[in-house]
A and B are shown apart, each in its own frame.
Chain A
Amino acid sequence: MSENNQPRHSAEPDPERIPTTQSPDAGPQDPLGDDAEFVTTLDTAGGAMRPSAVPVSAQSGKIPGAEEPDSVLRKIFTGNGIVTILAVLLALFLGGLLIAATDKVVAATSSYFFARPTDFLAAVWSAATGSYVALFQGSVFNPRGNGVAGQFAPLMETLTIATPLITAGLGVALAFRAGLFNIGAQGQIIMAGILAAWVGFALDLPVGLHLLLVLIAGIVGGAVWGGLVGVLKARTGAHEVIVTIMFNYIALYFLRYLLDTDLFQRPGETTPISPILDPSALYPQIFGSQYRLHLGFLLAIAATVFVSWLLNRSTIGFEFRAVGANPKAALTAGINVPRATILVMTLAGGLAGLAGVAQVAGTEKVLTDGVAATYGFDAITVALLGRSTPWGTFAAGILFGAFRAGAVQMQIQTGTPIDIVLVVQSLIVLFIAAPPLVRAIFGMNPRKKKAATAGKTQKAATTGGAA
Chain B
Amino acid sequence: MKNSLRATVKRGSMAGVATAGAAALLLTGCGAAPTTGSSAAPTASDYTGCIVSDSGGFDDQSFNQSSYEGLKKAEQDLGIKVNQAESKTNNDFEPNLRAMVSAGCDLTVTVGFLLGDATKSQATANPDSHFAIIDFGYETPISNVKPIIYDTAQAAFLAGYLAAGTTKTGTVATFGGIKIPTVTIFMDGYADGVKYYNEQKGKDVKVLGWDKAKQDGSFTGDFEKQDKGKQFTQNFLDQGADIVMPVAGPVGKGAGAALKEAKAAGKDVKLIWVDSDGFLTAPDYKDIMLSSVMKLMGEAVETVVKQDKDGEFNNTPYVGTLANDGVQLAPFHDLDSQVPAELKSELEQIKKDIADGKLKVESAASPKV
Contact = CB atoms under 8 A, between A and B. Distances in A.
Interface of A: 108, 110-116, 119-120, 138, 157, 161, 253, 256, 260, 268-273, 276, 292, 359, 363-366, 368-371, 373-374, 404-405, 408-409, 411-412, 415, 417-419, 422, 440, 443, 445, 448
B88 A422 contact: yes
Interface string B112-147: 011011000000000000000000100100000000
Contact of A273 (B85, B88, B92, B114): B114
B30 A418 contact: no
B128 to A, nearest CB: 16
Given A115-B32, A116-B33, A408 B90 contact: no
B324 interface: no
Interface in B59-84: 83-84
Contacts of B103: 412
Contact of B31 (A111, A260, A440): A111
A370 to B, nearest CB: 4
Nearest to A142: B102
B359 interface: no
Contacts of A268: 139
Given A270-B365, A373-B89, A368 B114 contact: yes
16 contacts: A110-B28, A112-B31, A120-B29, A138-B99, A270-B181, A271-B136, A359-B91, A368-B90, A373-B90, A373-B91, A404-B92, A405-B95, A408-B95, A415-B84, A418-B86, A443-B10
A161 B91 contact: yes
B360 interface: no
B224 interface: no
Nearest to A372: B89
A418 to B, nearest CB: 5
A335 B9 CA distance: 52
B101 to A, nearest CB: 11
Interface range for B: 35 or more
Contacts of A443: 7, 10
Nearest to B40: A105
A254 to B, nearest CB: 12
B3 interface: yes
Contacts of B25: 110, 113
Contacts of B114: 273, 368, 370
B31 A253 contact: no
A115 B85 contact: no
A169 to B, nearest CB: 16
A363 B94 contact: yes
Given A270-B365, A363-B91, A445-B3, 20 more contacts: A108-B39, A112-B29, A112-B33, A113-B25, A120-B29, A138-B99, A253-B221, A256-B178, A256-B179, A260-B179, A271-B181, A369-B178, A373-B89, A373-B91, A404-B91, A408-B95, A409-B99, A412-B85, A417-B86, A448-B3
Given A370-B89, A445-B3, A157 B55 contact: no
Interface string B273-314: 000000000000000000000000000000000000000000
B100 interface: yes
A374 B88 contact: yes
A111 B28 contact: yes
B96 interface: yes
B341 interface: no
B180 interface: yes
B37 to A, nearest CB: 8
A276 B117 contact: yes
A200 to B, nearest CB: 14
B85 A408 contact: yes
Nearest to A445: B3
Contacts of A422: 88
B29 A408 contact: no
Interface in B20-52: 25-26, 28-34, 39
A370 B112 CA distance: 13
B88 A112 contact: no
| 5 nearest A-B pairs in the assembled complex, by CB-CB distance | A113-B29, A373-B89, A370-B90, A115-B33, A111-B31
Contacts of B201: none
Contacts, number: 109
Contacts of A270: 181, 364-365
A273 B116 contact: yes
B89 A115 contact: no
A164 to B, nearest CB: 8
Contacts of A253: 221
Contacts of B29: 110-114, 120
Nearest to A120: B29
A113 to B, nearest CB: 3
Nearest to A115: B33
B85 A374 contact: no
Nearest to B92: A408
B6 interface: yes
A273 B113 CA distance: 9
Contacts of B7: 443
A418 B88 contact: yes
Given A256-B178, A270-B364, A412-B83, A374 B89 contact: yes
Contacts of B10: 440, 443
Nearest to B24: A110
B224 to A, nearest CB: 12
A439 B90 CA distance: 38
A448 to B, nearest CB: 6
A157 B95 CA distance: 8
A24 to B, nearest CB: 20
Nearest to B139: A268
B306 to A, nearest CB: 23
A271 B31 contact: no
B56 to A, nearest CB: 11
B129 to A, nearest CB: 15
Contact of A365 (B55, B117, B136, B364): B117
Contacts of B92: 404, 408, 418
A271 B26 CA distance: 55
Nearest to B219: A256
Contacts of A138: 99
B30 A408 contact: no
Contacts of B32: 112, 115
A366 B90 CA distance: 11
Contacts of B39: 108
Nearest to B50: A412
A409 B99 CA distance: 7
Contacts of A269: 139
Given A111-B28, A276-B117, A364 B86 contact: no
Contacts of B116: 271, 273
Max chain B Cβ within 10 angstroms of own Cβ: one of A253, A412, A448: A412
A292 B113 contact: no
A161 B92 CA distance: 10
Contacts of A370: 55, 89-91, 114
Given A270-B365, A364-B91, A408 B55 contact: no
Nearest to A138: B99
B31 A412 contact: no
Interface string B354-369: 0000000000110000
